[in-house]
Amino acid sequence: MSEPAFPEGAGQRVLLTAFEPFDGAALNASWEVARRFADRTIRGATVVPWRLPVVFGEAIAELDRALAATAAHLVIALGEARGRAAVSLERVAINVDDARIPDNAGSRPIDRPVVAGGPAAYWTGLPIKAIAARLRDEGIPAEISQTAGTFVCNHVFYALCQRQAEGARTMRGGFIHLPALPEQQPQPVLPLAVSLRAVALAIEVSLARRQDMVAAGGALA
Ligand code: PCA
């Protein structure tokens, strides 16, 4: 697709965070995708990939370094969700760390708030319904996810939303979980090229829209 004459993202910076491998894996699908956006421009906006450690606390400290270094207008945080078959557009970050497995520093918090005294939850700042619709238009499996889990991904997502809610400057952000890559079989997997396209579309839609669209994305229990 050709760039529009007056791109929505002109002069803006998009921070694209992703994670190092965890739980003994050799790679993390989220970083394999994010690192390929280095030096890319989408709709006039510069994309800056940034790798975060899978460590409670340190991941947020690194997110803060990335936010300070880039002064990003849009932040899309990526993570890998083994076992999920579709690109998962996360709706809500919750204020709890409850680790079923140790993080990469061996820490395993249980029922601890991400931010003591913070609200129970924050909504994403991304137009997730519009992103899901755009992905499905291109035949990419996409879903609205009602939970980003309670491990390091949700931890970073919550901190990002808190910075968005309380920050002095305008920044919008949210979280997307990606399925595993084919070399990580056996799992439900999504080819690298498809995840790359999904993330590029998510950035495009997020730059183009201030408001989300109205479309069903709920789930029955
Ligand atoms: N996925 C984990 C942490 C890092 C990642 O890529 C999660 O979903 O919390």
Residues with a catalytic annotation lie at 90, 153, 177
pLDDT of res. 5: 65
For ligand 1, atom 7: residue with the closest CA: 153
pTM of the model: 0.96
Does the pLDDT at position 48 exceed 70? Answer: yes
pLDDT tens-digit readout, 177-203: 999 999 998 889 999 999 999 999 999
What average pLDDT does range 19-36 have in this prediction?
Answer: 98
pLDDT of res. 133: 98
Give distance in angstroms: CA of 143 to centre of ligand 1: 17
Between residues 194 and 7, which one has the greater pLDDT?
194
Residues sharing a CB contact under 8 Å with residue 153, sequence separation 6 or more, in sequence order? 19, 77, 79, 81, 175, 177
Helices (H) and strands (E) in the chain, counts: 5, 9
Does the pLDDT at position 9 exceed 90? Answer: no
* Residue of 80, 82, 98, 108 to mutate, ligand 1, most atoms within 8 A of C-beta: 80
Question: What are the E-state strand segments in the chain?
Answer: 13-19, 41-42, 45-52, 74-80, 87-90, 92-94, 121-123, 142-145, 172-178
Q: Which atom of ligand 1 is nearest to the CA of 177?
A: 8
pLDDT tens-digit readout, 96-144: 999 999 999 999 999 999 999 999 999 999 999 999 999 999 999 999 9
Q: Which residues pair with 94 in a beta bridge?
A: 121
Q: Which atom of ligand 1 is nearest to the CA of 28?
A: 6
Give distance in angstroms: CA of 138 to centre of ligand 1: 26
Place of tokens 């002109």: 10
Q: Which atom of ligand 1 is nearest to the CA of 30?
A: 6
pLDDT of res. 56: 98
Tell me what percent of the residues of the chain surpass a pLDDT of 90.
89
For ligand 1, atom 2: residue with the closest CA: 153
pLDDT of res. 37: 98
Between residues 45 and 185, which one has the greater pLDDT?
45
For ligand 1, atom 8: residue with the closest CA: 153
Give distance in angstroms: CA of 22 to centre of ligand 1: 8
Q: Give CA–CA dist 200/16, Å, rounded.
A: 11
Give distance in angstroms: CA of 2 to centre of ligand 1: 34
Give exposure, 26-62, as e/b (b: 16+ Cβ within 10 Å).
eebbbbbbbebbeeeebbebbbbbbebbbbbbbbbeb
Does the pLDDT at position 64 exceed 90? Answer: yes
Identify the three-state secondary structure at position 185.
coil
Does the pLDDT at position 4 exceed 80? Answer: no
Residues whose beta carbon lies within 6 Å of some atom of ligand 1:
19, 22, 28, 30, 54, 79-81, 149, 151-153
What is the chain's mean pLDDT, rounded?
95
